[in-house]
Amino acid sequence: MRSDGEATRTRILEAARVEFAAFGLAGARVDRIAASASASKERLYAYFGDKQALFRAVLELNQHEVAAAIPIDVDDLPGFVGRVFDHTISHPEHLRMFNWARLEGLTAALVAEDRTRMFPEHAVLRAAQTEGKIDDGWEPEDLVALLFGLAFTWANAPGIVAEMGNPPSKTRVARHRASAVRAAEKLVAPATPRSDDRARS
């Protein structure tokens, strides 16, 4: 059973997640977060220090959830893009938080060991490249950015965000998802040797 302190901290994080996703760091109100969490502002500051630290804590929570829900699979990177796409559709507040953080120039305060444990892409992608599973012309960190970019493309595209109040049809969402997955397939496919390269080998 969680202690009262742990339960209060969890309520504050959940209330902050809603508030920050809606208003960003600058527009969020600590008094609204505290009221929604049934906690005092003093308790909130005692746990998190200040509003920016609370914002970073929510970012870290979101990253933990995404990493746990969608581990990278080097044997199916297009499928990974599809799963990230699905998560973006089912958890739009995560993408909104990411975009607010980017505007503010903030990142989650993860220690190196935690980041390596949660996001081991560099090592697993490099190994897959060595084994010829994926195109070895990409730097792993660049490839990760491109894969997430494909998964986020439609959510960030002009005209799509405006439809949040009136969601696109299931057919349209499925088409967007398929296009992102297909683009990922082309992105990671091992390069085909040119005919003159084969002739020299």
- The predicted-structure confidence for 179-197, as pLDDT tens digits, reads as follows 999 999 999 999 876 455 5
Asked if pLDDT for residue 41 goes beyond 90, the answer is yes
Helix ranges (H only) for the chain are 4-27, 30-36, 41-48, 51-69, 77-90, 92-104, 112-118, 121-130, 140-156, 170-188, 195-200
pLDDT mean over 54-65: 90
pLDDT mean over 26-37: 96
Asked if pLDDT for residue 103 goes beyond 80, the answer is yes
Asked if pLDDT for residue 1 goes beyond 70, the answer is no
Instruction: Please tell me which residue, 149 or 165, carries the higher pLDDT value.
Output: 149
Q: Does domain 70-191 have CATH number 1.10.357.10?
A: yes
Structure tokens at 77: 């990177």
Q: Does domain 1-49 have CATH number 1.10.760.10?
A: no
Asked if pLDDT for residue 151 goes beyond 90, the answer is yes
The pTM is what? 0.79
Asked if pLDDT for residue 124 goes beyond 60, the answer is yes
How many whole angstroms separate alpha carbon 100 and alpha carbon 86?
A: 20
Asked if pLDDT for residue 82 goes beyond 90, the answer is yes
Nearest of 79, 85, 92 to residue 173 by alpha carbon: 85
At 180 the pLDDT is 96
Comparing 36-45, 79-88, 99-108, 110-119, the range with the smallest average pLDDT is 110-119
At 161 the pLDDT is 47
Percent of the chain at pLDDT exceeding 90: 53
Q: Where in the chain is the domain with CATH 1.10.10.60?
A: 1-49
